């Protein structure tokens, strides 16, 4: 390793090339900054390499496989379909390669310097970047920390052998015959349901009283019904105790109340949350950056830390660990560095689970709106009587709009059903721009589309629905 004594000068140092980091780097470069982005892994971070993107590729493949078995509903008789797992993995890897290659090209096109290695702060405005070959020292005017997070590893369930994290679950050598999932949050449900569609017997162990605790119970109950119909057992109110593994399987011991139970499977997937990457040798204390007891970096409304020249975004600061939140914060940080009056405004961050059916939520739930003192009016419309949903044979779910009865303002929305992940954007925009139920009702929605369900839900809330009988 070659270590340079003299410091090189850089306008903006970005630590981490995930969704938050690469967006921040590109935006800073667009605003005239000389930018260096450093990442010890691959460009694209967890999201593009071992998170959002590869998981959605596998989920899409699972949907395709399952749809063949349901083709008879459309009058199409199909049989003999098999899963070529190596080809499925090739598809997933191809998607990842295209996107990570695209991000690398964007960095280059915006003249962002890239260094594959790690960073260690030396003082409040200097850092050493290093790998096995070199370790130059940089003096920066500003820095953006975007180091992301990693799966929480429990002492009783270390990631080794047949006990795996979400990262390991994406690259199993075969479709397992059986799988235990600890944690019924969105990661556990997405991956567990994906494998169940490929034929795996899945057991979900959840400590709470329901899965998908971040979503309304009337949404999670629909997912539960679908899971139980696709070879998934769900055990709630259960606490995992210990695991014993052999070369061929792993046995989990868990408790429900005072009763001890055991379940054996090919693999045990642990999905109990993520931990911010603020520990290790980054040297935040040397940079004068304050970190909370939970390992989160404290920031102001422009994502500026206790060091006024260092910013932090994404999973290392408070809030949900979501790629789109990190991207948003990356833009704010870059613009704040350039002197723009940009500040974060978390009025509505959409949350999506790519379960089957999909769940999406933005803004207030009905309970949250009431707790905030609003006189709440709700409009709810089912997929089951929408023409497009019927033609897709995808009639599970609903759109629910939460509004202020006095002003008509849209306060929140929850969608469960086919394409909920795409449909939620309209409601996010409605909340951001201060739209009312009438604004939505007066917007012409193309027919026949799933988007019409949003229109119908607005009309239900307004009291003059066309496609259902007013109660």
Q: Which are the catalytic amino acids? A: 447
Distance from C-alpha of 169 to C-alpha of 161, rounded to nearest angstrom = 12
- Consult the annotation and say whether 207 binds a ligand: no
The single-letter DSSP state of residue 364 is -
- Consult the annotation and say whether 167 binds a ligand: no
- Consult the annotation and say whether 190 binds a ligand: yes
**Facing residues of 119 across strands?**
129
Distance from C-alpha of 110 to C-alpha of 33, rounded to nearest angstrom = 10
- Consult the annotation and say whether 259 binds a ligand: no
- Consult the annotation and say whether 75 binds a ligand: no
Distance from C-alpha of 90 to C-alpha of 152, rounded to nearest angstrom = 28
H or E segment to which residue 353 belongs: strand 351-353
Q: Is 113 exposed, middle or buried (0-12, 13-18, 19+ CB in 10 A)?
A: middle
- Consult the annotation and say whether 379 binds a ligand: no
Single out the residue of 77, 86, 85, 102 nearest to residue 19, CA to CA.
Answer: 102
- Consult the annotation and say whether 148 binds a ligand: yes
- Consult the annotation and say whether 421 binds a ligand: no
- Consult the annotation and say whether 315 binds a ligand: yes
Distance from C-alpha of 324 to C-alpha of 306, rounded to nearest angstrom = 24
Distance from C-alpha of 407 to C-alpha of 405, rounded to nearest angstrom = 6
- Consult the annotation and say whether 186 binds a ligand: yes
The single-letter DSSP state of residue 446 is P
- Consult the annotation and say whether 184 binds a ligand: yes
- Consult the annotation and say whether 297 binds a ligand: no
- Consult the annotation and say whether 260 binds a ligand: no
**Facing residues of 359 across strands?**
353, 416
SS3 at position 430: helix
Single out the residue of 303, 203, 307 nearest to residue 253, CA to CA.
Answer: 203
Q: Which residues of 299-319 are buried (b: 16+ CB within 10 A; e: fewer)?
A: beebbbbebebbbbbbbbbee
Q: Which residues are annotated as a binding site?
A: 56, 147-149, 183-190, 206, 273, 315
Question: Which residue numbers belong to the known binding site for FAD?
Answer: 56, 147-149, 315
Binding site members for NAD(+): 183-190, 206, 273
């Amino acid at each position: 390793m070659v270590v340079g004594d003299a410091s090189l000068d850089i306008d903006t140092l970005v630590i981490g090339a995930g969704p938050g980091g690469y967006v921040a780097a590109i935006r800073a470069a667009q605003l005239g900054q000389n930018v260096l982005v450093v990442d010890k892994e691959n460009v694209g971070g967890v999201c593009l390499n071992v998170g959002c993107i590869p998981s959605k590729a596998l989920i899409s493949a699972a949907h395709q496989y399952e749809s063949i078995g349901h083709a008879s509903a459309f009058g199409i008789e199909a049989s003999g379909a098999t899963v070529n797992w190596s080809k499925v993995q090739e598809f997933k890897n191809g998607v990842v390669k295209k996107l990570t290659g695209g991000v690398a090209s964007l960095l280059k096109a915006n003249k962002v310097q890239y260094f594959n290695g790690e960073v260690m702060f030396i003082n409040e405005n200097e850092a050493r970047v290093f790998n096995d070959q070199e370790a130059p020292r940089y003096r920066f005017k500003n820095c953006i920390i975007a180091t992301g997070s990693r799966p929480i590893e429990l002492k009783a369930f270390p990631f080794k052998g047949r006990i795996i994290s979400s990262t390991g679950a994406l690259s199993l050598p075969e479709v397992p015959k059986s799988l235990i999932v600890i944690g019924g949050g969105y990661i556990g449900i997405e991956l567990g349901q994906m494998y169940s569609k490929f034929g795996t017997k899945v057991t979900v162990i959840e400590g709470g009283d329901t899965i998908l605790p971040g979503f309304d119970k009337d949404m999670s109950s629909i997912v539960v019904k679908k899971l139980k119909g696709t070879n998934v057992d769900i055990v709630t109110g259960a606490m995992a105790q210990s695991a014993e593994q052999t070369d061929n399987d792993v046995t989990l011991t868990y408790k429900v109340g005072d009763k001890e139970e055991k379940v054996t499977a090919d693999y045990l997937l642990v999905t109990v949350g993520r931990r911010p990457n603020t520990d290790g040798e980054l040297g935040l204390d040397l940079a004068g950056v304050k970190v909370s007891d939970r390992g989160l970096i404290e920031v102001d409304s422009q994502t500026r830390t206790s060091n006024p020249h260092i910013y932090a975004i994404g999973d290392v600061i408070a809030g949900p660990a979501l790629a789109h939140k990190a991207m948003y914060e990356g833009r704010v940080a870059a613009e704040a560095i350039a002197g723009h009056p940009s500040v974060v405004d978390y009025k509505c961050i959409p949350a999506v689970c790519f379960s089957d059916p999909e769940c999406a939520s933005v803004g207030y739930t009905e309970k949250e709106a009431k707790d905030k003192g609003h006189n709440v009016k709700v409009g709810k419309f089912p997929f089951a009587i929408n023409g497009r949903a019927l033609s897709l044979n995808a009639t599970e779910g609903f759109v629910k709009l939460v509004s202020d009865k006095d002003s008509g303002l849209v306060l929140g929305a929850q969608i469960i059903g086919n394409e909920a992940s795409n449909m939620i954007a309209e409601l996010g925009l409605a909340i951001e721009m201060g739209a009312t139920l009438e604004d939505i009702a007066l917007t012409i929605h193309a027919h026949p589309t799933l988007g019409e369900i949003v229109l119908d839900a607005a009309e239900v809330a307004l009291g003059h629905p066309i496609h259902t009988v007013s109660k």
